[in-house]
Amino acid sequence: MKVKVAYISGYESERISSADFKAYVKGARYSSAWVVLPDDKPKLESVNLLPGGEVEGWIAFEVPINEKVLLGFEPGLEPLCFIKME
C-alpha cells in the first residue's frame, strides 16, 4: 500500500520508516514483508523528516486475502492511529 506522511506540527526532526507501520486483520498484527517492489512503486525509505516536510512510498504486507485491513501507525510501542483500508 502507498503511504504519505506529512510533518504538520512540531519543531524537531522525526524519524519515519516502513517499520513504523503495521497491518491489522481480525486483531492480528502484521509487519511489513521483505519483498522486492516494482520500479513504479518505490519503497517508503527511512528518513529524518523535518517540520513541514513530507515523504511517500510503498509498503508491502502479507495479510489474509479478502479481509478488512487496518493500517496502524506505530512509531513507538503503541499505535498512535489506525486507518481503514478499502
**pTM: predicted TM-score of the whole model, two decimal places:** 0.81
Task: For 12-65, write each residue's pLDDT tens digit.
Answer: 998 999 999 999 999 899 988 888 889 999 999 999 999 999 999 999 999 999
Rg from Cα positions in the chain: 13
Alpha-carbon span 7 to 1, nearest angstrom:
20
Q: Which residue has the higher pLDDT, 79 or 14?
A: 14
